[in-house]
Structure 1
Amino acid sequence: MLKKTWLCLMLLTMLVVPLAGAASAYTSNNWMGEVNGSLSLSSLTIPGTHDSGALYEPVYGTAKNQDLTIAQQLSIGVRYLDIRTRHFKNAFEIHHGAVYQQQNFDSVLNTVISFLNSNPTETVIMSVKEEHTAAENTRSFEATFNAYTSKNPGKWLLTDRVPTLDQARGKIVLLRRFSATQLPKGLDATAWKENTTFTIQNTAANLKIQDYYKVSDKAKKWNDIQSMYNEAKNSNPSWLYINYTSGYKPGIFGIPDIRDTKDYVNPKVLDLFTANTRGRFGISAMDFITSEHASKMIATNF
């Protein structure tokens, strides 16, 4: 009897221990620390936000894109930030269109760098785009950007190739949506097209982006999102896929309704990642992301 009991316990241990060891002990702050560092960033599923700094609006539904601050976004696992900057008096203000978002680029960078210093296994892919009308400057947008990066040069990875996670850990990877003369300066996304799905094929990196944002047909928007997820999951892992789930309904006199698209799309994104628990889905750039969205995306990496 004792021998049988001992054998049963041994068999149970053999079954349980490998399963326990297979579980990834990550949190939303350090989930990349559990990912194989030799993998390219293009091989991952990465939660992100569209117009990451857009927290304020003069009229409901017209300019706000997030409920969470950038610090809160990072804490729930967001690793792609879409930063829109107005060039004003040789500095960058955060804008959504004409609407000043009551913060500047220094505050964004301080938040991101502080997070990376506390979580050195992580990286943040940062899209930087010029927004609204430049005014009262004595230098180029690129020169002002250089002034920012020179404050913390060790925290930036300005490679024009999609890096591995180990190469990017602890750093900001630039996705550049502004022209530059000093190259390489980040992943070159200056050939960004408006309101469609498109590819950018550079010598060093290939990108595919879905950014249908004037959403007159919500069913089409969702089909475009799904198509990108399916392609990212089943295609060449060297391509970087960026899938903007965001958009707005064009209203009377061109007034946008941002929440109309979000209310339709965000529950569908959640359902998709509830059903698809493993695989490579690229970057999702969302409006009004939640911790539930982010956690389900992150889980597909394990």
Structure 2
Amino acid sequence: MRRLSSLPALLLVATAVTVAGPSGTAQAYSDPASYRSLEENAHPDWMAAVRGDASLADLSVPGTHDTLAVYGGGPTETQERHERGDGRGGGSLAYQLRAGIRAIDIRVRMVADERGEAGFAIHHGAVYQHANFDDVLRELRTFLREHPGETVLLHMHAECAGGITGCEDADPCPECGTDHNHRRRQIFDAYVDANRELFWQPSVTGAADVPTLDEVRGKVVLVNWSGPHGGNYTDYGLAQLNYADWPDEWGPQKNCYVQNSYQVGGISHIDDKWEKVHAQLDRTNQAADCRDPGRPNGDKLYVNWTSGASVWAYPYTVAGGTPTATGVNGFLHQCLTGRNGRCDTPSVKRTGVLMMDFPGHGLVDEIVRRNPVSGSTG
């Protein structure tokens, strides 16, 4: 598919109480290893060393929230920008994968290409991220061919909820006579049909059980596919995560396996966001299943979003902190490394899937080292 056009970026820019600089210069005020310091090729094959009989639920997986949100400035950007030399999209994804990221969050807008055919452009709100879903699939295919011992967990989200800071879908087939939810699914299914070898098929053809790593090496696993207001398309993804809707990013936690409380009302609320991340880590490592306390917890996959923002605290501030406030990434790194009594570190035997803004190399290192390597007993 050729480069897709986007609507002009209409973004409400409110006065933000932040102290970090603009794109590319924002600094961390907590441990630099926790923030905006991914290292290329640091962990290109870490899953190859993990026991193949381990369930994905056993794993500790570093991931990124709004994986390709690298354009638009402070209110919009959530990750380090790494562009391809040939001008094609997806360079930041390729860099993240080589650095050890194995869970990605792709936000799509329904559009038409120059031929009038339907496709997905990558957006964060109204801002087009200079990439399309074809770019995402190309980078995933290239990486997994070069590193067949790995897998990538994919969260798909329909980004266009409208509103002054949002985007509107541009359905190239209004005469199809169906709603946007159905059209999104049709378009996604067409991508899957054209790339069947890339996807672990149970995750894209029906609600799947959580697989073992050996079942999905070299494949993309669709974890969840959600609509613009947080509701799940429940015939996709992993059934265990679809028992209730994933939380609306600005709403309550409806699904105990998923923490995605996104609103951080200001710098003074960063601590509150960390406590939600901390509580989900505790949930991940408790003995009892959070949904059914009469059942064991070890076979359940947990997803924990460390990201947060508002017009009073942009993503880089929430992640990296200020001179007077530790960022969520700093809190998390302290927890995983046993510093400042931030958490009961020995109890964090697995992190589940951590979806982060601007992760640092130290966070990726600490998450990866918690995995059950070949030859270990648990």
| 1: CA distance, partners of 2:69 / 2:42 | 26
Note the alpha carbon deviations across 1:107-166, whole angstroms, 9 max, x for none: 011001110111111100000111122113226111111111112202111332111111
| 2: CA distance, partners of 1:33 / 1:183 | 30
Aligned to 1:116: 144
Note the 1:175-194 alignment, pairs <5 A: 175-178=223-226, 184-187=235-238, 189=242, 191-194=245-248
Aligned to 2:218: 170
Aligned to 1:212: 261
Q: Does 1:225 align with 2:277?
A: yes
Secondary structure at the counterpart of residue 250 of structure 1: coil
The one-letter code sitting in structure 2 at the alignment partner of 1:218 is: I
Aligned to 2:304: 243
Q: Does 1:71 align with 2:117?
A: no
Q: Is the 8 A contact 1:196 1:210 kept in 2?
A: no
C-alpha displacement of 1:186: 2.1
Aligned to 2:195: 152
Secondary structure at the counterpart of residue 72 of structure 1: helix
Q: Which runs of 5+ in 1 are unaligned?
A: 1-25, 201-206
Tell me which of 114, 117, 122 is aligned to 1:94.
122
Q: Does 1:34 align with 2:62?
A: no
| 2: CA distance, partners of 1:41 / 1:196 | 27
Go from structure 1 to structure 2 and tell me whether the alpha carbon gap of 1:250 and 1:182 turns closer, same or farther (over 3 Å shift).
Answer: closer
Secondary structure at the counterpart of residue 43 of structure 2: coil
Higher helix share: 1
* Aligned-residue CA RMSD (Å): 2.4
Secondary structure at the counterpart of residue 46 of structure 1: strand
C-alpha displacement of 1:290: 2.1
C-alpha displacement of 1:48: 0.2
Q: Which runs of 5+ in 2 are unaligned?
A: 1-40, 82-91, 113-117, 161-167, 177-182, 288-296, 321-326, 339-344, 373-378
| 1: CA distance, partners of 2:357 / 2:226 | 22
Q: Does 1:284 align with 2:354?
A: yes
Q: Which moved more, 1:127-136 or 1:113-122?
A: 127-136
Q: Is the 8 A contact 2:222 2:237 kept in 1?
A: yes
Q: Does 1:257 align with 2:314?
A: yes
Q: Is the 8 A contact 1:244 1:286 kept in 2?
A: yes
Q: Which moved more, 1:271-280 or 1:211-220?
A: 271-280
The one-letter code sitting in structure 1 at the alignment partner of 2:127 is: V
Go from structure 1 to structure 2 and tell me whether the alpha carbon gap of 1:196 and 1:227 turns closer, same or farther (over 3 Å shift).
Answer: farther
The one-letter code sitting in structure 2 at the alignment partner of 1:137 is: P
TM score, norm. by length of structure 1: 0.81
| 2: CA distance, partners of 1:242 / 1:181 | 15
Go from structure 1 to structure 2 and tell me whether the alpha carbon gap of 1:51 and 1:274 turns closer, same or farther (over 3 Å shift).
Answer: same
| 1: CA distance, partners of 2:251 / 2:299 | 22
Paired residue total? 265
The one-letter code sitting in structure 2 at the alignment partner of 1:149 is: V
| 1: CA distance, partners of 2:152 / 2:139 | 11
Higher relative contact order (CA 8 A, sep 6+): 2
Go from structure 1 to structure 2 and tell me whether the alpha carbon gap of 1:146 and 1:250 turns closer, same or farther (over 3 Å shift).
Answer: same
The one-letter code sitting in structure 2 at the alignment partner of 1:121 is: G
Q: Which moved more, 1:36-45 or 1:226-235?
A: 226-235
Note the alpha carbon deviations across 1:82-118, whole angstroms, 9 max, x for none: 0000011210000001110010000011001110111
C-alpha displacement of 1:234: 2.5
User: Which runs of structure 1 show a deviation greater than 6 angstroms over 4 or more consecutive aligned residues?
Assistant: 179-183
Q: Is the 8 A contact 1:86 1:93 kept in 2?
A: yes
Which structure has the larger Rg? 1
C-alpha displacement of 1:196: 4.9
| 1: CA distance, partners of 2:258 / 2:128 | 26
Q: Does 1:126 align with 2:154?
A: yes
Q: Identity over the aligned pairs, expressed in percent?
A: 32
The one-letter code sitting in structure 2 at the alignment partner of 1:170 is: G
Q: Is the 8 A contact 1:79 1:124 kept in 2?
A: yes
Secondary structure at the counterpart of residue 54 of structure 2: coil
C-alpha displacement of 1:199: 5.0
Higher strand share: 1
Aligned to 2:179: none
